[in-house]
Amino acid sequence: MDETRLEPIIHTEGLTKCYGAKTAVSELSLDIYPGEIFGLLGPNGAGKTTTTLMLLGLSEPTSGQAWIDGKNCTREPVAIKRIVGYLPDNVGFYGDMTGRENLRFTGRLNGLPEDLIEERIGSLLEKVGMTQAADQKTSTYSRGMKQRLGVADVLMKDPRVIIMDEPTLGIDPEGMRELMELIRSLAAEEGRTILISSHQLYQIQQICDRVGLFVEGNLVACGKIEELARELQKEGQSILETAAFPDDAGFAKLLKGLGNVDSVERTGDFYVVKSRSDVKRELLRKSLDAGYTLSLIRQRENDLDEIYHRYFEDAEEHYGDEKSQKILPFLKGHKNEEGGEKNGDESGKKQGLFAFRRRQK
């Protein structure tokens, strides 16, 4: 995609939201282009949800403006809801109704003709792989099934833009793969623009065209993953994974003695060497001289996990001890997230989703 030839479909200028003395979103200026999958990444409290609410016209900014397809999100909220679909992190449906009945209800809320509703229900259920379960009550659905039905629900009004909040959270690996393929097809084959708000880095890396790294209301980096990696390399930062035989204390000492090395950490069967310059050649030479045979030597470049760590490693310096406590656990812990169906308390979710649907009508 050549963004230079396209007008952005989502555009914000200095978008800011304050709650008293707390700035939830600060001076956000961002362009997202037609047919793009954009990942907005950050820990809880980073400002992702607040940004989403302002884009949906459900929260008025303190200052700045946002537009979707040329429509002002604050001044034209009804027009925004006609072209934007929203998939919350915990999709709510009426449990005593079937999947098909829930979709029919959504179509009527959006004022669609009955023949078009039935046509879309059939095609969308097939698209999301829910045809066989369409006539079961949604109270029997797993979380993954509800997410897929949620995608069909969002597509009932044929939106140009879809905003998804943690779409893969709590879904088993196979369900996650199917959902990711579905999301990709919505952009690649149908030209829809998709904004994903998430903290699951690995899934985002697989599917997004560009990412924005969000922390404490600030967009600290934005671009393609490859571009962010190159920017870090320009700053002279290098991370190398390596292992050798024999694997002894002498090899660890050799690594620590390389030029411009900041740290050496053992991770499983290999070492992670962080340095201010590329040390591969020096490592090859010194390993050979010391009688070590390298079994692994790999430069980290386009790993979103590492990019995230390196952009936020100064969180404590920039945001102080209290705020960094929200960021550092996220950086340390998100690698351990595993997919898995889980049942959550959805009380109150249905009412909230219904209220949003009513405003879409």
Q: pTM for the whole thing?
A: 0.73
Q: Are residues 247 and 152 in the same domain?
A: no
Residue 114 lies in a domain: yes
Q: Are residues 38 and 130 in the same domain?
A: yes
**Rounded CA separation 309/122 (Å):** 44
Which of 284, 303, 322 represents a domain boundary (last residue)? 303
- Domain limits at 246? 236-303
**pLDDT tens by residue, 38-96:** 999 888 788 899 999 999 999 999 999 999 999 999 999 999 999 999 999 888 899 99
Report the number of distinct structural domains present in the chain: 2
Strand 71-72, strand 238-245: pairing: unpaired
Sheet with 84-87: list strands edge to edge.
Answer: 84-87, 161-165, 193-198, 37-41, 210-215, 218-223
Q: Are residues 140 and 249 in the same domain?
A: no
Q: Are residues 54 and 169 in the same domain?
A: yes
Q: Are residues 254 and 173 in the same domain?
A: no
Q: Are residues 240 and 195 in the same domain?
A: no
Compute φ and ψ for 312, nearest 5 degrees. -105, 5
Q: Are residues 27 and 153 in the same domain?
A: yes
**pLDDT tens by residue, 179-234:** 888 899 999 999 999 999 987 777 777 789 999 988 888 998 898 877 877 776 66
Residue 295 lies in a domain: yes
pLDDT for 200:
76
What's the CATH number where 14 sits? 3.40.50.300
Question: Sorting pLDDT into bands at 50, 70 and 90, what band is 316?
Answer: very low
What's the CATH number where 264 sits? 3.30.70.100
